[in-house]
Chain A
Amino acid sequence: MASPFKWIDERVDLVGVRKALLDRKMPGGLTWFHTLGSASLTVFAVQVVTGIVLAMYYSPSPDHAYDSIRYLQDQVVSGSTLRGIHHWGASAMVVLVLAHMTRVFVMGAYKYPREINWLIGVVLLFIVLGFGFTGYLLPWDQKAYWATQVGTNIAGTAPIVGGIMVRLLRGGSQLGAATLARFYALHVLLLPLMLFIAVLLHLAIIVRQGIAPRTKALDADAPTRTSDAEYSAFYKKAYERSKGAGVPFWPDITTKDVVMGAAIVLILLQLARSFGAGLEPPADPTDSSYVPRPEWYFLPFFQLLKLVPGSMESFVAVGIPAVLVIVLVLLPFFDRKSTRSFSKRPLARASLLAIAGSCVLLVGASMAEDSAEAVAAETGRPLSNVQRAGRALYSAQGCGSCHAIGGKGGGTKEDAPPLTEVGLKHSGAWLHSFLENPLRFHPETKMPSFGPPTLSHQEIEEMTRYLVTLRGPNGDLKKPEFVDTFPPAPKSKE
């Protein structure tokens, strides 16, 4: 009996497979930037392995989802590490796929003959984002629930199909059990299958075409456009030449890939052990004061929606992703110049700078706002979610145009008292009533009534909670002395 290898080789030609896959000649001079694609694949494998074990401890129902995650975190051996790797792996996927895409863009590798693989790559990017969006809900904690509320609401602002979109995403009109089951099915069945097929195609095409060589190899004496008749013959020759100077795929090229993959996975492990994945209190659909935050990679989009006026919102919410898809899909067909070297493509440089720059600015602005909101500058104290919401209302309603807090804001109106220490003078109950209907208290007041329909009782309460925190400098050391006087209750208007 010959060795099993020989026995199988005789029948399926293992050596041929090895020659075709591993001994392939590659163009020379591949950099560490060329490992980003395989690193994405490595992290995807990590997500599959960790995800399978996570699924063994997960129950996709609102009754049990949160408890099952708690159990995983607290009771299962290395459960929190495992969930941490999956959590950070999700971010790594987005980073790596975007970095890989940027590399391909910069090196002009999406041009002839690789347009198809660029398109599959675009599909892969959106599958990865879909993973992020659907996985975010699964822990069923506050963050998950409210971020998904916002996310599905954004889809609902789409013209014409908005209502259908929301019901499709939520599996009903409300976010609940059906949504969770649906997201779970997408996250563990549909998206992995789609990604698997797309990756298989992506890789098959790479093997068929070979990796794109260094830009120099294809730029010298090239016809001006890839659509020119003689370009394909030129390309074939240039590509063969670049491989002549090259090295075999295994182990010369693959070593960099494997090292890069290992480095990233070790970083993920470290992040998982140091920071874990975090778990907020269980989802509470009645706590509408919770201010959700999406995962960082959706922040540019999230921040953009804050910057546009309400009337434009649906246009931006649907328009921006749509434009992004269209631009990415059309790029290889629109850009037919044969030049691949980034230094000779001013338009490509400008657009990459513009997109990356605006994303960085938007993420920065969002994070700056978050940290500014977390600690109120006027009191220097951290605020709860409810108080933050109240503070946002205070500025949105333009209270600061009449009232001053800590010397900031306030107009020339004599009769708008500064609110620097209002939390020491009045109780929450009094402030709530006053905001609702100031005329009850001072018939002469110029302050408008904020009761419904201007603000809901919930919003007035949020504002009140914020005002109560205003106690001036060193407010925590001062005892409040309330001077609350309530006029007789107003007759109901019904």
Chain B
Amino acid sequence: MDEPTPTQKLQPEGEAPDTGTIDRRGFLHKVSTVSAGLTALAVGVPAAGAFVSPALPKKATDDWIKVADDVALIDVGEPVRVNFVKTDQDAWIETRTLNGVWLFTEDGEKFKAYNAKCTHLGCSYVHDKEKKAFYCPCHRGQFDIKTGKVMDGPPPRPLDELEVEVRESAVYVRYRDFRLGIAERVVS
């Protein structure tokens, strides 16, 4: 432990013996603060930027997927499940995931397309021919085929309807996944 010598008594801050010292000390404090702040910013900004990078909004990608080569091939009045493999960039690894959509048309011209994941917790629902509804075996959720509305069970919102376009008699769906288990429809 260093004991201050009598000649050089250490003063608590703000009670310096002469204003010269307080100015000097104040100046040194300022310089230190500014320098330390610059150091923190120089490293902190890139580090924080890289850290939060995945949470920042991404550039829109083309997510239109061809689900049928010809309109004529799709059954009228019966929903069909179309599976396709989607290639996702999972950070530095490419992953392929099997995704699906349920297509339904009453006239062969206008199409409804639903994301094939149940809005409750993402199980694959099936077409229940007896009940004329979509039925999710995980927790017995039921959805209306024509509108996607919840008819029974725990799902918090209707089926996720997807945009459909018919180009040169082929059917395209804009596939997206939404956050599951909540009432709002938020793109995940």
Give me the interface of A with B, judged by CB distance under 8 Å.
19-20, 23-25, 42, 46, 49-50, 52-53, 56-57, 59, 64, 67-68, 70-72, 75-79, 81-82, 85, 210, 243-244, 248, 251-252, 254-255, 258-259, 261-262, 265-266, 268-269, 272
Contacts and interface: CB of A to CB of B under 8 A. Distances in A.
B92 A76 contact: no
Interface stretch (B4-12, B111-119, B154-162): B4-12
A46 B44 CA distance: 9
Interface majority SS (helix, strand, loop, mixed), chain A:
helix
Given A56-B51, A77-B53, A23 B44 contact: no
Contact of B91 (A68, A78, A272): A68
Given A19-B10, A76-B50, A78-B45, 14 more contacts: A25-B2, A75-B91, A77-B49, A79-B50, A82-B50, A248-B10, A254-B32, A255-B35, A258-B35, A259-B35, A262-B35, A262-B42, A266-B38, A266-B42
Given A56-B51, A67-B92, A85 B35 contact: no
B92 A252 contact: no
B32 A261 contact: no
Given A25-B4, A49-B44, A265-B43, A79 B32 contact: no
B60 interface: no
A445 B132 CA distance: 93
B14 interface: no
Interface residues of B, number: 31
Given A78-B46, A266-B38, A243 B2 contact: yes
B60 to A, nearest CB: 15
B89 to A, nearest CB: 9
Contacts of A57: 50, 91-92
Interface in B11-41: 25, 28-29, 31-32, 35-36, 38-39
B25 A251 contact: yes
Given A243-B2, A255-B28, A85 B43 contact: yes
Contacts of B28: 251-252, 255
Contacts, number: 106
B1 interface: yes
Contact of B52 (A19, A50, A77, A81): A77
B23 to A, nearest CB: 12
A81 B56 CA distance: 18
Query: Which of A50, A70, A78 lies at the interface centre, i.e. has the most chain B CB atoms within 10 A of its CB?
Result: A78
Contact of A20 (B1, B43, B92): B1
Nearest to B35: A262
B31 A259 contact: yes
B92 A258 contact: no
Interface majority SS (helix, strand, loop, mixed), chain B:
helix
B47 interface: yes
Contacts of A82: 46-47, 49-50
Nearest to B3: A25
Contacts of A272: 46
Contacts of B35: 255, 258-259, 261-262
Nearest to A65: B92
Contacts of A251: 25, 28-29, 32
Contacts of B52: 77
A25 B8 contact: yes
B187 interface: no
Contacts of B38: 262, 265-266
A39 to B, nearest CB: 11
Query: Which of B45, B47, B49, B91 lies at the interface centre, i.e. has the most chain A CB atoms within 10 A of its CB?
Result: B47
A67 B39 contact: no
A72 to B, nearest CB: 8
A266 B41 CA distance: 10
Contacts of A268: 42
B44 A71 contact: no
B186 interface: no
Contacts of B8: 25, 244
8 contacts: A25-B2, A64-B93, A68-B92, A75-B91, A251-B25, A252-B25, A252-B28, A254-B32
A251 B25 CA distance: 7
Contacts of A210: 2
A296 B185 CA distance: 55
A272 B45 CA distance: 13
Contacts of A76: 50, 53
B38 to A, nearest CB: 5
Contacts of A59: 92
B167 to A, nearest CB: 31
Nearest to B52: A77
A363 B161 CA distance: 67
B50 A258 contact: no
Given A258-B35, A259-B35, A266-B38, A53 B5 contact: no
5 A-B pairs with least C-beta separation: A262-B35, A71-B92, A78-B49, A251-B28, A77-B53
B92 A64 contact: yes
Given A23-B10, A82-B50, A49 B5 contact: no
A261 B39 contact: yes
A82 B43 CA distance: 8
Query: Which of A19, A42, A248, A262 lies at the interface centre, i.e. has the most chain B CB atoms within 10 A of its CB?
Result: A262
Query: Which of A64, A85, A255 lies at the interface centre, i.e. has the most chain B CB atoms within 10 A of its CB?
Result: A255
A254 B33 CA distance: 11
Contact of A53 (B1, B25, B50, B92): B50
A46 B43 contact: yes
B26 to A, nearest CB: 9
Nearest to A63: B93
